[in-house]
Amino acid sequence: MSDSDCLFCKIIAGEIPSEKVYEDDTTYAFKDINPKARVHVLIVPRAHYANVAELATGDAGQLAHMVEVAQRIADDEFHGAYRLIFNTGLDAGQSVFHVHAHVLTGEKLDE
Ligand code: AMP
Ligand code: ZN
């Protein structure tokens, strides 16, 4: 998929509206449109990688930075506790093929 067809590239470019939670030079975070917890944020690199394995191979530092951003959000929202999910592959529930970390926090989560 080229970047011009990618939903999250369009969100990062501001072509589709989103509720921004955090941004810096490399990374953007916004509220999930269908939240599964009181706080459900998606963290994406501005650069397009299809999934977390491609990101780990291509730019491990960016992946580590996304974890730092998740921690920061959870520190603000819920004393540093959070769940971090990377759905990878259609059969695991990945529906957008621009790597994104789901951060679930803001309340006690079911096990
Ligand atoms: P996944 O199924 O892991 O690929 O996650 C994709 C996520 O993107 C889902 O949790 C959707 O609710 C979310 N999503 C889809 N479209 C939008 C949008 N326009 N703004 C915010 N979140 C979205
Ligand atoms: Zn993209």
Domain coordinates of the chain in residue numbers? Answer: 7-105
Q: What is the pLDDT of residue 1?
A: 55
CB 73 within 8 A of CB 41: yes
Mutation test residue for ligand 1: of 7, 8, 34, the one with most atoms within 8 Å of CB: 34
Ligand 1 residue neighbourhood (C-beta within 6 Å): 7, 16, 18, 32-34, 42, 87, 93-96
End-to-end CA distance of the chain: 35
Phi, psi angle pair for 3, to nearest 5°:
-60, -30
Mean pLDDT for 81-97 is 98
pLDDT at 4 over 90: no
Residue 93 tokens, joined: 């529930």
CATH architecture observed for domain 7-105? 2-Layer Sandwich (3.30)
Sheet holding 20-23, edge to edge: 20-23, 27-31, 39-45, 101-105, 83-85
- What's the rounded Cα separation, in Å, for the pair 59 and 50? 12
Ligand showing the shortest atom-to-Cα distance for residue 54: 2
Ligand showing the shortest atom-to-Cα distance for residue 8: 2
As a whole number, the mean pLDDT across the chain is 96
Q: What is the pLDDT of residues 41-80, one digit of tens each?
A: 999 999 999 999 999 999 999 999 999 999 999 999 999 9
Q: What is the pLDDT of residue 77?
A: 96
- Using DSSP, state whether 61 is helix, strand or coil: helix
Q: Which of the four pLDDT bands, split at 50, 70 and 90, describes residue 2? A: low
CB 98 within 8 A of CB 89: no
